Structures are given as structure tokens and as C-alpha cells.
Structure 1
Amino acid sequence: MGLTGRERRILAEIEQALERDDPELVQRVAAINRIESGGDVFQQAYGDRLRMWALAHVWLIFSAGAVVIVLLLLAVLTT
């Protein structure tokens, strides 16, 4: 259900008052909106690298865990 014209005007007045009274808050909200919409420059530039880095570390941790489990099993079975 959409907003009525009156509701849109009230929201616009609130937005203008916030822009006037607290410009820092407006900048923070705009930055959050850019990040959420995928428009963040850092995310666009390094997003794939960060995902690959994280994936590599997850596999490294998984592999190390698997080695520890195998070594523990060998220690239990050989005693």
C-alpha cells in the first residue's frame, strides 16, 4: 500500500528538517544506503578479492581442523 500525498509531504518535511538540523546524520545514512545498495566504491573494487580471501581462509581452517582430527584418531588408535 502506497503513501498518500499528505504522508509523502510530511516525510519530505521531516527529511528537510533533518538535513537542516543534523547534516552529519544525513551523511551517515547516505553512506549506509550506498553500502546496502552495492554502490560503495570500496566494495565494488575489492568485493571479489575479499570474498576469495575469506573463502581461502575458511578452507584453510577447515583443512587444519581435518588434519587435527586425523592426528587425534591416529593417536587414539595407535595407543
Structure 2
Amino acid sequence: MSLSGKERRILAEIEQALEREDPELARRVAAINKIESDGDFPRAYGDRLRRWVLAHVWMIFTAGALVIVLLLLAVLTT
């Protein structure tokens, strides 16, 4: 959904005020917007992030299964 002319004008005013009041924050916001608009983040980090998440999910699943097995053994042996 695109912004109306009035919304674009208000956004431009906010951006100009931010640049005047905090140029460092404005620079950081511009850098983040550039990364998101270029699409570099998903390509550069997507596969590595996906593997990291998958590895951790499997570790949590394995630890949970181990806890369940140990609890069952404790209940069955008493």
C-alpha cells in the first residue's frame, strides 16, 4: 500500500527534523533502510541464520526427548 501525498510530506518533515536533531541516528536509520531495500540481508545472512535456528531447534528437541526418557525411566524403576 502506498502513502498518500500528505503522508509522504509528513514523513519527509519527520526525516528532516531527525536529521537536524540527531544526525548519527538519521545515518543509522538510513543504513538500515538501505540494507532492507537492497535485499542484501536475506541473501547474506539468510542461509546461515536458518542453519543456526535449525541446529538449535534440534538441540532443544533432543534435550526434551532425553528429559522425557529419563523421567520415564525414573517412574518405571521406582
TM-score by length of 1: 0.64
State the Cα distance separating 1:66 from its structure 2 match: 0.6
Counting only pairs closer than 5 Å after superposition, residues 6-45 of structure 1 correspond to structure 2 as 8=9, 11-35=11-35, 37=36, 39=38, 41=40, 43-45=42-44
Q: 1:22 to 1:77 in 2, by over 3 A?
A: same
1:52 aligned partner: 51
The Cα of 1:49 is off from its aligned counterpart by 1.1
- Structure 1: runs of 5 or more not aligned: none
| 1:62 alignment counterpart | 61
- TM-score, length-scaled by structure 2: 0.65
The Cα shift of 1:59 comes to 0.8
Identity across matched positions, percent:
72
* Equivalent residue, structure 1, for 2:77: 78
Residues 43-67 of structure 1: CA deviation (Å, up to 9, x unaligned): 5322211211111111111111111
Q: Secondary structure at the match of 1:73?
A: helix
State how far apart, in whole Å, the 1-side matches of 2:11 and 2:59 are. Answer: 50
Partner of 2:4: 2
- Alignment partners' CA distance in 1, 2:4 and 2:66: 57
Q: Report the count of equivalent residues.
A: 75
Greater shift in the superposed pair: 40-49 or 21-30: 40-49
Give 1:70 shift.
1.0
1:24 positional shift:
0.6
